[in-house]
Amino acid sequence: MTRIPVAAGLPDFPWDSLAQVTATARAHPEGIVNLSVGTPVDPVDPLIQEALSSVAEIPGYPTTHGTLELREAVVESLDRRYNIPDIDPAAVLPAIGTKEMIAWLPTLLGLGADDLVVIPELAYPTYEVAAKLAGARIQRADGLTKLGPESATLVFVNSPSNPTGKVLGLEHLQKVVAWARARGAIVVSDECYLGLTWEADALSILDPRVNGGDLTGLLAVHSLSKTSNLASYRAGFVTGDPALVAELLEVRKHSGMIVPLPIQAAMAAALVDDQHENIQRERYRRRRDVLVKAVRDAGFTVDNSEAGLYVWATRGEECRSTVSWFAERGILVAPGEFYGPTGGRHVRIALTATDERIASAAERLSR
């Protein structure tokens, strides 16, 4: 029997293709400003670090479901920060980073070759990977009416969007929920940037205004990487439909997908405290103001970019040419084609660099 490696069916890892322009940017006499990825650069708040170490002496296995303290902290933070009431702590499940959760969700939910997964036309690449890992079919569609009568099994939604920063309004989200429920489909909403809004208010799929107070068939994925600088901790969670969360929990118990106890403690501390999150949000707001002005002054059009950690910019040319133009100035950005066929004339510029590096990028763009 011939074995087909799982990786054979996956797309190439896109950032591997940036080696040459990365070398160009690194050679700049003032150093590289890497704005190609959304990796936090600011410090982890001491209260989170203290919580991490507070349980370091405990030797036993943590539970897959997570501590009650963590799940209650999630519930309270969702209500307090995003106006999402009445989530049952039992319907909260911690994840080893939200990329892991998103990548394996279709597989964990039992999807296969007979199932259709709908992803945004411009999308975080892991949605496509998730469908491929499950062996499911893929359709890119923002307007679900384009799908006609075909029934989907799972629909990924991302608002605020990575890469575009677009925010989906109340009516759009209501239509997604209604469309999915008419077909018995699951909606998975990636809400990792929900706490980083600049020019529009973003709503969760779990907001009662969106779903009419009914969470059936709905899952929301949240990350602490962005607002609490916990990318290295791999800290996230999923919540929503209690039946779906229970199904995920059962499979993850069997497969050993467990968030380490120190990370659970750190997550609980981060979710209870809003001050550090507010401070980080304002850091990104200041950086965004500097970068958006510099990009526009350099002749680019900024599209969407209402929220999130990225500026979605174009000057009407093929995106790889734009990436090279930035690299010659020592600035590394991501080509829009990484995120889908319709992104070929945009670049994604991240806000995740220090104040000094953002200022340096702005100064170089002004020359």
pLDDT digits 0-9 by tens, 268-279: 999 999 999 999
> Do 91 and 14 sit in the same domain of this protein?
no
Which positions ≥6 away from 14 have C-beta within 8 Å?
A: 125, 334, 338
Please, which pLDDT band fits residue 149 given cuts at 50, 70 and 90?
A: low
Residue 143 clears pLDDT 90, i.e. is over it: no
Q: Which amino acid is at 196?
A: L
Q: Are residues 85 and 112 in the same domain?
A: yes
Give the pLDDT confidence score for residue 4 in this predicted structure.
53
37, 73: one domain: no
Instruction: Flag whether 142 is in a domain.
Output: yes
Distance between CA atoms of residues 138 and 128, nearest Å: 7
Task: State the pLDDT confidence band at 290, using cuts at 50, 70 and 90.
Answer: very high
User: Which is nearest to 203 in space by CA: 76, 77, 79, 83?
Assistant: 83
Whether residue 23 sits in one domain with residue 62: no
Task: Give the pLDDT mean for 292-310.
Answer: 97
The rounded distance, in Å, linking the Cα atoms of 13 and 208 is 38
Q: For residue 21, is pLDDT > 60?
A: yes
Question: Do 123 and 222 reside in the same domain of the chain?
Answer: yes
Residue 9, pLDDT score: 64
What's the mean pLDDT in 178-198?
95
pLDDT band, very low/low/confident/very high, at 12 (cuts 50, 70, 90): low
Same structural domain, 226 and 290? no
> Going by C-beta distance under 8 Å and a sequence separation of 6 or more, which residues neighbour residue 32?
22, 25, 26, 330, 331, 332
Same domain, 252 and 164: yes
Q: Which of 15-29, 88-102, 220-234, 351-365 shows the lowest mean pLDDT across its residues?
A: 15-29
Residues 10 and 153 in one domain: no
Instruction: Check: CB of residue 271 under 8 Å from CB of residue 82.
Output: no
The share of the chain scoring above pLDDT 70, in percent, equals 94
Same domain (yes/no): 154, 280:
no
Domain C-terminal end among 221, 244, 272? 272
The model's confidence at residue 141, banded by pLDDT at 50, 70 and 90, is: confident
- Would strands 347-350 and 310-314 be described as parallel, antiparallel, or unpaired? antiparallel
How far apart, in Å, are the Cα atoms of 127 and each of 103, 241, 291, 303, 362?
7, 20, 28, 22, 32
Domain, as residue range, for 242? 47-272
240-243: long-range contacts at Cβ-Cβ below 8 A with a sequence spacing of 24 or more?
240/91, 240/205, 240/206, 240/215, 241/91, 241/186, 241/215, 241/216, 241/217, 242/88, 242/90, 242/91, 242/215, 243/216
Domain tally, the chain: 2
Distance (Å, whole) CA 251 – CA 105: 11
Contact of 330 with 30, CB cutoff 8 Å: yes
What tokens appear for 255 in the block? 């497969």
Query: What is the residue-averaged pLDDT of the chain?
Result: 93
Pick the last residue of a domain from 223, 247, 272: 272
Query: Are 246 and 330 found together in one domain?
Result: no
The confidence score (pLDDT) of residue 10 equals 66
Chosen domain end from 221, 256, 272: 272
Contact 351, 357 (CB under 8 A): no
Q: Which distant-in-sequence residues (6+ apart) come within 8 Å of 303 by Cβ? A: 164, 312, 313, 314, 346
d(CA 39, CA 34) in angstroms, rounded, equals: 10
In this model, does residue 150 exceed pLDDT 90? no
**Segment 116-133, tens digit of pLDDT:** 999 999 999 999 999 999
**160 prior amide bond cis, ω within 30:** yes
Does residue 64 lie in a domain region? yes
Predicted local distance difference test score (pLDDT) of residue 155: 96
Q: What whole-number distance in Å separates Cα of residue 216 and Cα of residue 211?
A: 9
Q: What is the pLDDT of residues 190-209, one digit of tens each?
A: 999 999 999 999 999 999 99
Percent of the chain with pLDDT over 90: 91
| Structure confidence at residue 142 (pLDDT) | 78
| Confidence class for position 178, pLDDT limits 50, 70, 90 | very high
Give 69-84 pLDDT, tens digit per residue: 999 999 999 999 999 9
Q: Which two tokens stand for residue 56?
A: 């370091």
pLDDT at 366 over 90: yes
Q: Residue 151's pLDDT is what?
A: 83
Q: Is the residue at 1 inside a domain?
A: no
Least confident of 12-16, 165-169, 306-310: 12-16
Q: What is the pLDDT of residue 367?
A: 86
- With 0.85 as the threshold, say if the pTM is over it: yes
Whether 137 is in a domain gets the answer yes
* pLDDT for 3: 46
